[in-house]
Amino acid sequence: MTTGPASRPSAPPAAAWLERVTAEIARGRHVVIHGNVRDLVRWDRSFHPLRTAVAGLLSIFGYQLTGYYDPVDGLSFVSPTDQHEFHRLAGGDPGGSSGGSSAATDRTGATRGRFAAALRDAPPPALTNPYDAMAAVRRVLRQPTVSSAFLVDQADLLLSPPDRGGDAERRLLGTVARAMTEAAQSGPLRNLLLLVADDLAALPAWLYRDRPYVQVVEAALPTFDERHVYLHQQARHFHEAAAARKAPEDLRVLANLSEGMAISELDGLWRMSNLQKIPLDEPRLLMKRTLFGPRQDPWRRVRDRLDRFDSAVGERVIGQPVAVDRVRRALTSATVGIDFVADPHNAESRPKGIFFFVGPTGVGKTELARALSEFVFDDETALARFDMSTFAEAHSAERLTGAPPGYVGHERGGELTNRVSQRPFSVLLFDEIEKAHASVFDKFLQVLDDGRLTDALGNTAYFSETVIIFTSNLGAAETYGWLDGGELPDYDKVTAHFERAVREHFTATLGRPELLGRLGGGITVFDILRPEFVDRIVRKLLGQLVASAARQGVRLTVDERAVVTRVQELMRRPEALRLGVRSIRDALDRLVREPLVEHVFAHPVQAAVHLSVSRHGAVIRAD
């Protein structure tokens, strides 16, 4: 692997959020740092733990005394000199002399001198109690002679809101608040307190809100440039790194695909590279293995099976050849990977397929989603259905990514992000999307554009292995007039009608025309149920009934012609055509399934049954 100066990436010498901390310290403000605080931080053109980076920053400012506190290790200092200076400032000089001329006085003075020397040489007292430690810090910050700065780590574990703790917790909280308000000016510097918290919501808001002497700064995830530089520094650790022919490009790809990852997580890339023997020359495979684990990739099998898609799925979704063919073509495009994109690596982070199924009710939209899940993942349970009628309120959008900090359920994360994190290879079905509140679409924009979504806990879910399907009945009500009037329009007229209904909904009703652009060619119109397909649908459902009876130990034979004829008669009514396949299923329920269940219950010893229907109902006999 060879990388010259021209190919070496660059990044600012310090993280942008750390530069903001620098500005706030210069203004004499205490700082609350939250967010990505357990990660390595870009500082002085390298990457360090946050404590090391802050120590370097404080040394540049010229603070004479720097200390650290966390609930586990208590107080600690850079050097023993700082430690002794802290205890001197916090408790005063224990030595002293009262003078005197008598021998007794001389002996007393000598004793006191030896005692004072022993105190000076003894190790300073350990302040393990949080209140004692913070009270001592408060005394040091209050003095103006020695410029002092203290970093309190895990402050969200240390400081509880007043309504959640007892008297001891409230006393500690008050001590920290007073330490910030009483901090003295020491020359050009103001004595400083920095609070570090993983979860800002766990800190009492009144401690920093509307306080002109306190500023909150979020430790952000690393930028692309920071990730790129770090990966370049770690490049030698990758499997067969020395043989990489285009390492600069491969590292750029990894930096691009790793958006949303912390610096410390990037080490997982070269560790996975060595564990799975994946060279740096295969950055996309390496990222996939790192994010989703060393599992079998179902998308690799899809390409070999696509020639069977029409027959396999067409047997389940009857009467929708255009919809089935459009899904097949989209899957073909996803497996081949050729598209109009400036950066192909950005394209690979987006979902494998994005569809908007629209059409009358009961014509196979959900069934096609199930069939797709079964075909791609060999598992219908890979389908996750979200009923969007339950997302009709503005606040309900937060359910997808989790409640905001401070709200009930925040710690549980989001319904959508949790699902994708647990099962990244999924079909995501958002049913009746038109019933969702407009704010829900803001979440979908990020998924459709970037292929990722971050929950309220800061965890990122990746959608690159998913298929996303929206279903809608927009425009279906108008089709009832066609059917009631005996009109059966051709598919072109049906398509034009539903596409117009979708455009009007997004542009006029929602005022969000940009969503149409994200869907692209994914709008798939489902045809109305046509009489010529009733025969096949009935026979398919009867086959399912026969298989179900066999699983219960009953050998069932059916007079299919008689059943089909009777259902076709019922489906000539406009009100039946409105509900599509649901009407057929309801008719079979009354004509076949319910009488069969009653017969089997009344005759449990009959192992073989023949069923037919007439105008008077079901005819069942032992076979």
Say yes or no to pLDDT of 101 above 50.
Answer: no
In whole angstroms, what is the distance from residue 552 CA to residue 367 CA? 25
Residue 581: give its domain's CATH number. 1.10.8.60
**What average pLDDT does this structure show over 139-151?**
96
Q: Which residues of 444-462 are buried (b: 16+ CB within 10 A; e: fewer)?
A: beebbebbbbbbbbebbbb
Distance CA 29, CA 127 (A): 26
Above 90 in pLDDT, residue 386? Answer: yes
Residues 347 and 477 in one domain: yes
Distances (CA, A) of 212 to 35, 48, 139, 223: 21, 30, 22, 29
Q: What 3-state DSSP class applies to 454?
A: strand
Region 420-440 average pLDDT? 91
- Whether residue 371 contacts residue 313, with contact meaning beta carbons closer than 8 Å, is answered with yes
Domain end residue (candidates: 510, 525, 540): 525
Residue 243 has a pLDDT of 86
β-pair partners for 353: 467
Span 545-571, pLDDT tens digits: 999 999 999 999 999 999 999 999 988
Residue 100: what pLDDT? 41
Which pLDDT value is given to residue 295? 66
Residue 56 in this model has a pLDDT that exceeds 90: yes
In terms of domains, do 102 and 235 share one?
no
The pLDDT of residue 96: 35
- 544, part of any domain: yes
On whether both 519 and 596 belong to a single domain, the answer is no
CATH (domain of 160): 3.40.50
307 and 452 belong to one structural domain: yes
The answer to whether residue 8 sits within a structural domain is no
**DSSP string spanning 7-45?**
G-----SS-HHHHHHHHHHHTT-EEEEEESTTSEEEETT
Contacts of 230 (CB under 8 A, 6+ apart): 40, 47, 222, 263, 266
| C-alpha to C-alpha distance for 394 and 388, rounded to whole angstroms | 12
CA-wise closest residue to 434 among 508, 526, 521, 517:
508
Q: Does 283 share its domain with 338?
A: no
pLDDT (tens digit per residue) in 34-47: 999 999 999 999 99
DSSP state letter for 503 = H
- How far apart CA 439 and CA 445 sit, in angstroms, is 10
Q: What is the pTM assigned to this prediction?
A: 0.69
Q: What is the CATH number of the domain that holds 435?
A: 3.40.50.300
- What are the tens digits of pLDDT across the range 108-121? 555 555 545 544 55
Same domain, 123 and 91: yes
Mean pLDDT of the chain: 86
Domain boundary among 485, 509, 525: 525
The whole-number pLDDT of residue 104 equals 44
Residue 53 has pLDDT above 90, yes or no: yes
Q: What are the angstrom distances between the C-alpha of 243 and each of 239, 255, 269, 281, 343?
A: 9, 20, 17, 9, 25
Domain that holds residue 602: 532-622
| Whether residue 406 has pLDDT greater than 80 | no
**Residue 440 and residue 327 share a domain:** yes
Q: What is the pLDDT of residue 50?
A: 96
Q: How far apart are CA 288 and CA 299, in angstroms?
A: 12
Q: How many domains does the chain have?
A: 4
* Alpha helices, H only, 62-102: 80-91
Rounded to an integer, what distance in angstroms lies between the CA atom of residue 95 and that of residue 210? Answer: 44
- Taking Cα atoms as reference points, which of 223, 205, 316 lies closest to residue 266? 223
> Are residues 267 and 354 located together in one domain of the fold?
no
- Is the model more confident about 419 or about 129? 419
- Which domain-ending residue is among 494, 525, 556? 525
What was the pLDDT predicted at 260?
85
Note whether residue 2 is domain-resident.
no
Residues 151 and 202 occupy one common structural domain: yes
Tokens of 387: 């009923």
429, 372 contact by CB (below 8 A): no
Do residues 443 and 329 share a domain?
yes
Give the C-alpha separation, 313 to 91, whole Å: 80
Residues pairing with 524 in the sheet: 357
Of the ranges 23-37, 290-304, 371-385, which is most confident? 23-37
Helix (H) or strand (E) holding 326: helix 321-336
Is 106's pLDDT higher than 60? no
Share of the chain above pLDDT 70, in %: 90
Q: Say if residue 603 is in the same domain as residue 549.
A: yes
Q: What is the DSSP string of 260-297?
A: T--HHHHHHHHHHHHHTT--TT-HHHHHHHHHH-S---
- Give the pLDDT of residue 518: 80
Asked if 614 contacts 562 with a C-beta cutoff of 8 angstroms, the reply is yes
* Dist. CA 125–CA 119, nearest whole Å: 11
352 and 472 share one domain: yes
